[in-house]
Amino acid sequence: MDIVKFLTAVEALCAGEFPEAGHRTVELATSHGTRADDAQIRERTAADFHAYREALAQRLHDRWGRQHPWGQQTVRLRVARGEEIPEPWATLSLLTDELDVWEPPGTGRWIALGVADRDDTDEIRLLATVTVTPPP
């Protein structure tokens, strides 16, 4: 995995235009063939993707300041209770257990970085999201 490539993608998200929905999520990396077939391979792959997220997050901490990761369990509980959680945060809470989130100075945008590995029947994905909607 190429951290420089990931940084370039995040920078493009910060500078790009928004779709009508007011947010955009991109897959920075996707596993291939690590669905529920082999639990050990899936576990190692998930660990690798979390390490990539941490390495990228460190670079973004250096740029925008250190932030504590946002656990998603509370947001999932709020969704389950019927509370209206704005997108993309509601969907991200269902895909990820934890997000790194920044508000880059002067952009009016929020950047979130997480690993979508909650669904054993789906590929593991390193996700980056940009939105104008603050986290709930």
Give residue-wise pLDDT tens across range 109-120: 999 999 999 988
Where would I find the H helices in the chain?
A: 3-15, 39-64, 73-80, 89-95
**Which residue segment(s) compose the domain that 98 sits in?**
3-131
Single pTM value for the model: 0.90
Cβ atoms within 10 Å, residue 52: 19
Question: Per the domain annotation, does 136 fall within a domain?
Answer: no
Is the residue at 121 inside a domain? Answer: yes
Average pLDDT over residues 114-130: 93
Average pLDDT, the chain: 90
- State the angle between helix axes of 39-64 and 3-15 in degrees (0 to 180), rounded to the nearest 10: 60
Is there a domain that residue 79 lies in? yes
For the segment 5-17, the average pLDDT, to the nearest whole number, is 87
Q: Summarize the confidence of residues 73-80 as an average pLDDT.
A: 94
What is residue 3's predicted lDDT score, i.e. its pLDDT?
Answer: 87
Residues listed for the chain: 136
Q: Is 20 left (phi over 0), alpha (psi -120 to 50) or beta?
A: alpha
- What pLDDT was estimated at residue 14? 83
Write out the two tokens for 96.
């990820």
Q: Distance between CA atoms of 136 and 123, rounded to whole angstroms?
A: 27
Name beta bridge partners: 52.
none
Out of 32-41, 52-61, 85-94, least confident range: 32-41
How is the beta sheet containing 23-30 ordered, strand by strand? 23-30, 125-131, 110-116, 96-102, 70-71
In the chain, how many domains are there? 1
Q: CB under 8 Å to 62, separation ≥6 — which residues?
A: none
Between CA 112 and CA 98 the distance in angstroms is 10
